[in-house]
Amino acid sequence: MSVIEGLKEIVGAGHVLTGADTEKYGSDWMGRYIAEPIAVVRPGSTEQVSRVMALAHDQGIKIVPIGGNTGLTGATYAEGAVMLSLERLNKIREIRADARLGIVEAGVILSNLHDAAEAHGLVFPLTFGARGSAMIGGALSTNAGGSNVVRYGSTRGLCLGLEVVLADGRVMDLMSQVHKDNTGYDLKDLFIGGEGTLGVITAAVVKLFPKPQAYATAMIATPGVPEALRLLNRLQAETGGAVEAFEFMAGSYIENHLRIIEGAKPPFEKSYDVNIMLEVAATSPRDAAPAEDGSIPVVERLEQTLADLMEEGAILDAVLAKTEEQRRAIWKRREDAAEVGRGEGRKIGTDICVPTDKVAVFLERMEAALPRLDPGATDSWVCHLGDGNLHYAVFPATDSPETDNAIVEHIEGEVLELGGSFSAEHGVGLMKKASMARRKDPVALDVMRKLKAALDPNGVLNPGKVLPD
């Protein structure tokens, strides 16, 4: 029996795509990694995923799991492989409002989970620009971050349990629904961030949180990054840790946004180097309930804080959202980052993280180093400043792979010297394998290879990704 016939027997002929029908799966969202998979198989249950993996294990078929295909590092590149799409495993099995948890399948689109949670007065706080197509399984496989990490943590911190199909087809039930579970090794964390190299996530138990009753959202400009961090710490203290987003956009990013995004408007009348989007959320009625004059306490408190800081000279400008439309416009400016990135031209993009108090140090060092590395090169960035995650981009003036590599290696060196990471929330995939070889602790790499060999001895699961050759 051929591979295709075997797959059709498991999932049905209509759910095994070949030839031109695989085209939309074969290219990543950015169009950087384009492949021709042997086929795309679309199982409709965990049992079918198990049978597909058992077949692959026995016949040595390479399998590349795929969710919403919104990744940025080539982790779903599938030349000469079968792509295993989780899109049909899209059921929200249960929302348990009293326990504040949801039980969902891997193919659930992030925005659909948002809607389901909201119907119960809850939120699943993971959010980023691709939420309308990204799937829970992919978010778990890359340990996605997003804009609300400052309050809720990354995807790993939002997950209580997993269901995983191993390389040989066995189903591992790690679907714990409790916050405390000390029954041996925490195996689920091997698969969260594993990018489908150790197993296929088919379902998860996720944490839900009370839906905020009111938001205070603003754009502010500060004299520098240290002043912005002091503002963040002050707001966290005054609100009891209710800051949900604290996003730093460079002046150059604002310029590019205005140039690339149709209808975009500047955040302020003047231009500034440090532009911060911040949002504070209130769940308590005392902070969210409108006063007799219609004012919202959390909004009034933020407005007064910003006015005080303006008098102190700690901030240069501020625009507070007064309507939901204005709030959405502020968020859109930040969430357009992926579209801005697509329109910026040739660039070296990064997804790095440093301690929050080292963000300014990193930027100062790169400002000094970039003219030496590539005279005429420019840079731009957006940053989850609340957790130190920088999407730092360089636009080279020299069209030279050697120069590009020198810039990347210099960035990595600065990041690691500051105690940071060269991969914060996008994963490793293909793009950062060279960085793994250069920068990851050799002992850690050795342990990773042994785990891969133990869980996938035939090397069928997403081969060639994450680990250096």
How does DSSP assign 383-433, residue by residue?
EETTTTEEEEEEE-SS--HHHHHHHHHHHHHHHHHTT-BSBSSS--TTTTH
Range of the domain at 373: 345-428
Using alpha carbons only, what angle is made at residue 191 by residues 187 and 196, rounded to the nearest 5 degrees?
150
DSSP 27: B
DSSP per residue, 252-292: HHHHHHHHHSTT---SSSS--SEEEEEEEEE-SHHHHS--T
Domain tally, the chain: 4
278 in any annotated domain:
yes
- 180 with 115, same domain: the answer is yes
Query: Which parts of the chain have pLDDT scores under 50?
Result: none
- 206 with 161, same domain: the answer is yes
pLDDT at 355: 98
Considering 337, 356, 371, which residue would you say is the last residue of a domain? 337
Considering 85, 102, 121, which residue would you say is the last residue of a domain? 85
pLDDT at 146: 92
- 22 with 75, same domain: the answer is yes
Half-sphere exposure of 340 (CA within 13 A, CB side): 25
**Could you tell me the CA-to-CA distances from 32 to 65, 142, 317, 435 in Å, in that order?**
18, 18, 39, 18
CA distance 86 to 109: 11
pLDDT at 398: 94
- 161 with 234, same domain: the answer is no
